[in-house]
Amino acid sequence: MDAWPQLEYAHWRPTGETLHRWLQIAGKVRLALAPHRNHFWEATFYLSARGLTSSTIPLPGGAGAFEIVFDFLADQVVITTTAGAQASVGLRPCSVAEFEREFLGALDQLDIQVKIWKMLVEIPNPVRFDQDRVHTSYYGEVARRWWGALIAIERVFNQYRADFAGKASPVHLFWGSLDLAHTRFSGRRAPERPGADAVTLDAYSHECASVGFWAGSPEFPEAAFYAYAVPEPPGYRSATVLPQTAFYDAKMGEYLLRYEDVRRAPDPAAALLQFARSTYAAAAHLGEWQRAA
C-alpha cells in the first residue's frame, strides 16, 4: 500500500458518498448504545489494521459487548460479539436502503436490539436511509486508497497528540462530516453560541484548537487538511502558519492545506506536522492559553 496514496475527489466522490451514508448507519448504532461522552466522542470510529472500527459497544441488557468493523481488505462489514458470534454484510455496489436492511438484519441475527434515527445528518438535502436508492456506488480500491491515506495521517496526528499534556481528544473519525480529527483544549469554557443546536453546543463547550482531514466536498473538491480555533482569537487568520502552501479560507473560517501538497512534499509527515503545530501555536498564543501548564 502506498504510504501517501493519490486521492482525486472525482474518483472518490461516488464511493465516498455511499460509504459516508453506510458509516452513518453503523455510527448511529454506536451512538444509541454507548454512554455519552463530552463532545460526542462516544460516537466516533477509529482506524484499525483492516479498516475502521467502532471499538467495543455495550450490548443492550448489560452483558458483554460487540464491535463493528468496516474491513476494507475483505470488502465487508463484520459485527462480532464478546460471546464469539459473528455476522457480516458485504461491501459492494448497492443502495443505502439495501445496506441498511442487511446491516440491521445482521444485528438481528446476533440478537442485538437497537433503534436508530434513520435520517441522514450533516449533509445537505438529507434523505432517510431506508428511502435512499440513489447512492449505490462502491469500489473497493477507492475505499482502500482513502483508508491508506487515513493510516498515514493518523500516524502523524498521533505524534502531534503526544506533544500535549492537557485535555485532548483521541485521533478519531467523525461519521457525520466524515473527517479524521484531533482536538486540543485550553481548559476554559468557550462563549456559548446563540441559536446553536445541542450537538454544536456540546462539541464547542470549551475553547479548542482542532486539526483534521477530509477527502473533499462539492464546495471544496479536493482532499485537504484543516485547522481552526474556537473561539477564533483576533489575529489568528493572519498568523504565520507552515508549510507555506497552507492558507486561511475566510468562507470556511479555517486554515487549509491541500493533501496533494503534503503528498508531494519531500517529507510529507514533516509537512503535516508543521501544519498541526503552527496552527495550534497561533491559536494558543493569540488566545492566551496557559501553555506552560
Sheet containing 206-214: order of strands:
172-174, 179-189, 206-214, 224-230, 254-258, 247-249
Predicted pLDDT at 2: 75
Say what the alpha-carbon torsion angle 185, 25, 19, 96 is, to the nearest 10 degrees: -150
125 pLDDT above the threshold of 70: yes
CA 146-21-89 angle, 5° bins: 85
The grid cell for 156 is: 502523524
For the stretch 55-97, pLDDT in tens is 999 999 878 999 999 999 999 999 999 999 999 999 999 999 9
Q: Provide the 8-state DSSP code for 231.
A: S
Give the other-Cβ count within 10 Å of 97's Cβ: 20
Q: Which of 290, 266, 286 is nearest to 278 (CA)?
A: 286
Give the other-Cβ count within 10 Å of 228's Cβ: 22
Q: Which of 130, 126, 139, 135 is nearest to 94 (CA)?
A: 135
Give the other-Cβ count within 10 Å of 65's Cβ: 15
Distance CA 69, CA 86 (A): 11
Predicted pLDDT at 203: 87
Query: For the whole prediction, is pTM greater than 0.85?
Result: yes
Looking at the chain, the number of H-run helices and the number of E-run strands are 6, 12
